[in-house]
Amino acid sequence: MAFLLIAIMGVELVSRQVATPAVHYLAWSIMGVVALMAARQYGAREVYLLVVCAALTGYGLWSGRATTAGILGGLEQGAFLMAFILLLGLLHEAAATSPSVREVGAYLTRQPQGRRYYALNAGTSILTVLFNIGVVSFLVPLIQKGIERATPNDPLNPIRERRQVSALLRGFAWAVIWSPTAVAPLALMEMLPNVDRSLWIAYGGVLFVMIMVVGALEDKLRFRKVRAARKIVPPPLPVGALLRFLAACGWLMAMITVGVLLTGDTVVSGLIMACPAMLVGWIVVQNGVSPEGRATTRKRFGEILLDDLPSSAPLGVTLAASGFVGRVGAEILPSAELAAMLGMNNVPDFIILSALPIVLTLLSLLAFSPIMLAIFFGSFFSGLPELPTDPTLLALAISCGWSLSMTASPFATVVLLTQQVGDIPARRLTWGWNLGFSALTVATMVPFFWVLTQL
């Protein structure tokens, strides 16, 4: 299995520069073999998605609405997303053993009440750049253990858990709209023409700060009557660990930039080319070049190849199937006719942009994954003769829908992961703890998009 996963990552990297039919067919073949060999690891989600893939393909061919080119495009999207999530996972593997990351994470979870929300929210979003969804798997248990260690058997501990885990979830969810390594934006850039990624990150950063402030105010107002029996003394800032972590982020950004300049390709290509080098370099730096360090490095690489990478196969299949469904589903749907029926060209831009996140979130309640919906809408709009609004704003709105679904839908992957590692029911985490916040984010987005459309 490890060999196949390495092979599809390598073939997809090659295909970014040598896009021949033979390379694509090889990638699709490897993807199919991975899907078959990973079957024993499947849960209900993977089975459901593969059944949808088969049903959609059968219906598309039977009805004549899906062309051969469209189905091959779905396979191409699926192979790319499988390789992409596996390559991003290499960053997580490198960061997982970093003492600097552990120190920074522990510091974020031990802040006093006044600044804890901002520390966890902003800190989680920054850690997400390298960790992606892995930040949840190590920060949620860290929060729970830290609360119990600091105030054992305190009746306020459930409230502390709610506030801290909610701040973490919100920071992770809304990092999607600005993070240079987020899956949603990079997938959308492959489909929507003329998207300005730098401008997208800038707009997303502004909206992220606005939503962070709104979330902090909501948290403060909701728990204004809660008072701790004793004041929490924060630990000293781990300056060395923070600088080392920022240096790792800077090194990643530098490698991405070099990759873009050398290939003349997009940020997507720069990122996926940087991931393997980042894995090797960071682990070597962590362990050093002494005989003991080299032995530790070899052991760690063995764990990644034999244990960690194969365990990522179901996630790779999930992303591949979601990409296929999103792309082929959008082709089957008559995009131009539907847009004309809805009168999109006559609807104000900010209404379209504000409605997209809501529609995407409502559809996610039907257990459709956010990435499937993001790719579906990206493919839908790219199939129109003319986009109804600015492509950069359109891409931002779709990624906002992805973010919103992660705090409003109990079927979001990050919510299910939090349920698994923290034993917090998905419905409690979303509808119980964050439904009010989700409504406030919608109210924040509407005027934000209105202002952007007036610029």
pLDDT exceeds cutoff 70 at 170? yes
pLDDT in tens, 388-433: 888 899 999 999 998 999 999 887 778 877 886 778 888 899 999 9
pLDDT above 90 as % of the chain:
18
Closest CA to 187 of 396, 371, 50: 371
pLDDT of residue 231: 66
CB 96 within 8 A of CB 220: no
- Is the model's pTM score more than 0.85? no
DSSP string, 241-306: HHHHHHHHHHHHHHHHHHHHHHH---HHHHHHHHHHHHHHHHHHHHH-SSHHHHHHHHHHHHHIII
pLDDT of residue 157: 81
List the structure tokens of 227: 């008072």
pLDDT of residue 218: 94
pLDDT exceeds cutoff 70 at 342? no
Residue written as token pair 């973490």: 168
pLDDT in tens, 122-165: 988 887 876 677 677 667 877 877 777 767 777 878 888 898 99
pLDDT in tens, 77-107: 888 888 887 887 787 777 777 788 777 777 7
Label residue 417 exposed, middle or buried (CB < 10 Å: 0-12, 13-18, 19+). Answer: middle
Q: How much is the average pLDDT of 187-201?
A: 81
pLDDT of residue 98: 77
pLDDT of residue 228: 63
Top-confidence residue, 170 or 186: 170
pLDDT of residue 214: 95
pLDDT in tens, 353-363: 999 999 999 98
Cβ neighbour number for residue 48 with a 10 Å cutoff? 15
pLDDT in tens, 271-328: 778 888 888 888 888 888 788 888 888 888 888 888 878 888 888 888 888 888 877 8
Q: Domain extents for the chain?
A: 1-453
Distance CA 415, CA 438 (A): 14
Q: How much is the average pLDDT of 192-209?
A: 90
Mean pLDDT over each residue of the chain, to the nearest integer: 83
48, 110, 162, 165 from 322: Cα distances, Å = 11, 38, 31, 27
pLDDT exceeds cutoff 70 at 229? no
pLDDT in tens, 15-42: 877 778 888 888 888 888 888 888 888 8
CB 373 within 8 A of CB 364: yes
Contact residues for 49 (Cβ-Cβ < 8 A; gap 6+) = 317, 318, 321, 322, 325, 369, 372
Taking each helix axis as running N to C, give the angle between helix 313-332 and helix 68-96, from 0 to 180 degrees, rounded to the nearest 10: 150
| 230 band by pLDDT with thresholds 50, 70 and 90 | low
